[in-house]
Amino acid sequence: MAILSIQSQASYGYAANSAAVFLSRYLKTGDVRSALELTAASIYGITEAAFIAAQNGLNSPSRSFDAVRF
């Protein structure tokens, strides 16, 4: 049994999302090209939203930590 790294697990998440979005777009349009274009736009939007949320976390962290001398 192979052990997956966190990076490869995240990749599976994008693959699953892309497949689900593509299928829904293809069933809606019936056109592969259109479904691919809509999928690319949708995944880009999701990635962009996640990036913006991450930036907000850098600017205003939800937690703070106190440094302690060992």
Residue 3 has pLDDT above 80, yes or no: no
Burial of 54 (0-12, 13-18, 19+ CB in 10 A): exposed
Q: Is 8 helix (H, G, I), strand (E, B) or coil?
A: helix
Segment 11-23 shows an average pLDDT of: 83
Could you tell me the pTM of the whole model?
0.60
User: pLDDT tens digit string along 25-46?
Assistant: 999 999 999 999 999 999 898 8
